[in-house]
Chain A
Amino acid sequence: MGKIFLFDNDVDTDQIIASQYLLYPTVEEMKSHAFESLRPDFAQLVKAGDYVVAGDNFGCGSSREQAPAVLRALGVRAVLAKSFARIFYRNAINIGLPAIVCADLHDAVQDGDEMELSLEKGIVRTGGRELSCTKLPPQMQKILNDGGLIAALNREVD
């Protein structure tokens, strides 16, 4: 089980990680600033295995891959939203962070609730209920199964 950090609609990538940290040399140096404007205590409170749950259009705005990267670096197990902006969605899968469309989850839970995700079955368990999620397109599922796009690339040349 992991804890839910709940966000609303249209969370843009500037909120996930602001511009002034993007040119820091490494993601490790950036990660303590995740969600700094929206939720300044996020980076301190989030633990490995926790979840980010949001409404529509999560990750809109810039193509900065630092956005999913800081979430993964902080141990976020998956992001579940009603819908995703396309670049964030693709970036997340490419680096091995599950981005899962789950239409009913956001409105069914509170911030701080516990939940569990079964990626294979496409099911979320929370508060004694089961909610189903949309499966990834096969192409993206394969990338995720491979451990991300770079792992897949390394395997291709073996």
Chain B
Amino acid sequence: MGMTMAEKIIARAAGVPETHAGEIHTVTLDRLMSNDGTTHLTIDMYNQLKHPRIHDVSRLVWIVDHNIPSDSIKTAASHKKMRDFAREHGIAFHEGDGVCHQVMMEQYVRPGELIFGADSHTCSYGALGAFGTGVGCTDYLYAMVTGTSWLMVPRTLRFNLHGKLSPDVCGRDLILTIIGKIGANGANYRAMEFGGEGLHTLSMSDRMSVCNLCVEAGAKTALMECDEVALAYLKERGREPVALFVGDPDASYEKVYDIDLASIVPVVAKPHFVDNIVPAEACRETRIDEAFLGSCSSGRIEDLRTAAEVIRGRKVSPLVRFLVVPASREIWMQAAEEGLLDVFMEAGAIVMNPNCSTCWGSCQGVIGAGETLISTGTRNFRGRAGHRDSFVYLADAATVTASAVAGEIITAEQLDAEEGGERE
């Protein structure tokens, strides 16, 4: 019997010829990412071990991204603990370089790797054909000490992509549409594997968005077959694949979906669940107080270019705060070079340093009681961006930016039509 991508990567990591869904294997991890959301607790547990030790320090990457710069004395203490430990042990350490998954994709991830990250959106690495999965700090610590962990081989949902996305639609709309269809636990414990000729038409940015949000359907991991686009991204950054895997035609898939990319439209996830999906154009007359463009899901240069095109020559509504947060230092500098940050600042946006920002509701742009946010972030759970009686709508970069201009939820196309395309 053939194998899925997930089965092949686990087989490699377990050192066995083949694996199949439902089996439990002891695996060796290629890389271990942790961020400031939990690392202070990992260090406390490490210090209580009878025989504290690190299996292979070169596999560890620690990234401060959730609350940077530190917002309080308590955060500062947790950051200091992480920083001091990383220095003492020689762990690769990033502070201010961007959201962890974006930094990992730019600097570390290689196709074929098995990666644990102490963050649920670790499944992003599937855009480069790597098996990334989110774990808690206890699993992380065990892997950090022993180099290994145990994994149950997941069943796989296969998504065959056909055709091409319309120009005003992005990967984020595709994955939100899929989540709307299969539900917030529709892929629980499963791998989501993407292939088909339509995959080749997606940019790396779109691919990262798609894989990133798979955890919002409960997926253990997301995987995409590597093609020339993925290999060019890797080569540009001076890296080589560990192994290139594809799903076998005779692999055992739990379910196969065929998706026509041309059928995807801009969508919005309404409060308070990511699977509460409606077409973006159907959300008119929803007033907003804040708009957020950023996150590991949609803070890339392509998103910033799209947003800048929408807002160029326009102004942010006086009733709205519009936060623009490039996902990494690399993206921030690219956006500056292209003049995009000037466009946002001139329009009245607030441009911030690369970090998780409003997406996780604890650092920047926290919203108050009764307020409404439209966001390119990852989640819209109750209270996710601040007060429990606030509302988060998730949308793509174009819709978020158009809404920041209009002061209510509107697609870029609707905004153009209503303003007759006129700008200053």
Interface residues of A (CB under 8 A from B): 10, 12, 14-15, 18-20, 22-27, 29, 36-38, 56-57, 60-66, 68-69, 83, 85-87, 90-91, 94-95, 137, 139, 148-150, 153-154, 157-158
Contact = CB atoms under 8 A, between A and B. Distances in A.
A23 B136 contact: no
A112 to B, nearest CB: 23
A154 B381 contact: no
A14 B381 contact: yes
B59 interface: no
Interface string B251-291: 00000000000000000000001000000000000000000
B362 interface: yes
Interface of B: 24, 36-38, 40-41, 44-45, 48-51, 66-67, 72, 74-75, 77-78, 117-120, 122, 134-139, 141-142, 145-146, 150, 152, 184-185, 188-189, 218, 220, 273, 360-362, 366, 379, 381-384, 388
B384 A65 contact: no
B138 A95 contact: yes
B283 to A, nearest CB: 22
Interface centre among B24, B361, B383 (most CB of A within 10 A): B383
- Most A C-beta atoms less than 10 A away, residue of B78, B136, B381: B136
B28 to A, nearest CB: 16
A153 B273 CA distance: 37
24 contacts: A14-B361, A18-B361, A23-B78, A25-B77, A36-B388, A37-B388, A57-B184, A57-B185, A60-B218, A61-B120, A61-B381, A62-B379, A63-B120, A63-B134, A64-B38, A85-B218, A86-B189, A94-B138, A139-B150, A149-B142, A150-B45, A153-B141, A153-B146, A158-B50
Nearest to B146: A153
A21 B388 CA distance: 14
A154 B50 contact: yes
B383 A83 contact: no
